[in-house]
Amino acid sequence: MVCKWIIGAGEFLDIAFEAWQRAFPEITVKKIIVPQNSKYEFDLSTLQTLSPSDGSAFVAFDERFGNFKRMELMSAVIQLGFKLDSFISPRAIIASNVKIGPNTLISDGTIIGYGSSIEYNSVLMPGVQIGSGTQVRPSCWIEAGVLIGNNVKIGAHCTFRTGVSIRHGLDIGRYCELGWPQCYEKNIAPKTIFDSRYDAPIYTYQN
């Protein structure tokens, strides 16, 4: 029997598991929970019983710690010999030449325009719209309904919250979090955080 293991923890594991089950009822989908200890280190012992040759995996962990925990778990799963797939909803509308990397989740109602690319380990929640010629670098997290224009460059490990829209042609640096529900109209420097709990952006400077 060929299995699809959905590996991770938390609510996003449930979301991804349900999406796989609903979209592909013909395959055997199993949920594998990976707990964390008090130092937030993953306990991979639940993976020891699986044989990588019996199926393939999808790593489902949310955006916490700048999407690095999902990245960390994904790397660990690859090191154990598992092959990673992407989830592309049959209810997404994706232009024919869009490039999509492994361990990416493209949810229902997502629209991705001509010539865009979504690199590995990125998550696009339902209803995300991405224009043409836009690049989404690895390990991004884009929440439901986010609108991204044409020819936008989005650096690795970015997080965009619901309510965000991004104008055509912008350059969003790596590790940014856009959490203020608004239209962003200027380029944004790497490591800039717009968190709704704060009334000013958080900047990171480094010489």
CA separation for the pair 149, 166 (Å, rounded):
6
Binding mask 19-58 for other proteins (x = CB under 8 A): -------------------xxxx-----------------
Residue 141's DSSP bridge partners are 123, 159
CA separation for the pair 109, 117 (Å, rounded):
17
Quick one: 6 or 158, whose CB is closer to other proteins? 158
Rounded to a whole number of angstroms, the minimum distance from the CB of residue 139 to other proteins is 10
Query: Counting contacts by CB under 8 A, is residue 155 touching other proteins?
Result: no
Rounded to a whole number of angstroms, the minimum distance from the CB of residue 173 to other proteins is 11
> Which helix (H) or strand (E) covers residue 171, if one does?
strand 171-172
What is the SS3 assignment for 10? helix
Among 25, 79, 186, 197, binds other proteins (CB under 8 A): 197
Quick one: 63 or 143, whose CB is closer to other proteins? 63
**Are residues 56 and 82 in contact, defined by beta-carbon separation less than 8 angstroms?**
yes
**Are residues 148 and 132 in contact, defined by beta-carbon separation less than 8 angstroms?**
no
Would you tell me which residues interact with other proteins (CB under 8 A)?
A: 38-41, 65-66, 68, 175, 177, 191, 193, 197-207
